[in-house]
Amino acid sequence: MEQIRIEGSNDSPKIVLDAKQGLIFIGGSSLPENVLDIYNPVLRWLDEYNKDPNPVTTIDFFYDYLNTASSHMVMRIFEKIIELSVRCPQLIINWHYLLSDLDMRDFGQELHELIHIPIQLIPEESLSGSSG
């Protein structure tokens, strides 16, 4: 499976999808003009990864900003994560957020309540706390 690595920009997140290592990282600012351009490749990759996942998979999210359209795409990613949880014996989901960003912390808590899969909420002092 192809590794995907997209460096983030001011309005799009950094994305690292590495099936061989079982690592998924999405973070930064997400306010692109067209969220489908950014997130559809992630959703397709997750569909493929779900067919034969690494038995140990770590997923790290670390957003400093999500617009409404991006938050909907994150929900779609979590739908794929629910599917993955059935096939992956050791799934680790980390939701990093800046200490000062209570909205992002609350969004992580809401995701945890919606999907009923353990999500570790990890406060960070700076964006460099988790780099993917």
Pick the CATH number of 4-129 from 3.90.550, 1.25.40, 3.40.50, 3.30.750: 3.30.750
Residue with tokens 């900003």: 65
- Residue 124 three-state SS: strand
pLDDT-derived band at 130 (thresholds 50, 70, 90) equals low
Global pTM reads 0.93
Distance in angstroms (rounded) separating the CA atoms of residues 72 and 59: 18
Instruction: Read off the amino acid at residue 72.
Output: H
Look at residue 131 in the predicted model and tell me its pLDDT.
53
CB 59 within 8 A of CB 88: no
Look at residue 132 in the predicted model and tell me its pLDDT.
57
DSSP state of 117: S
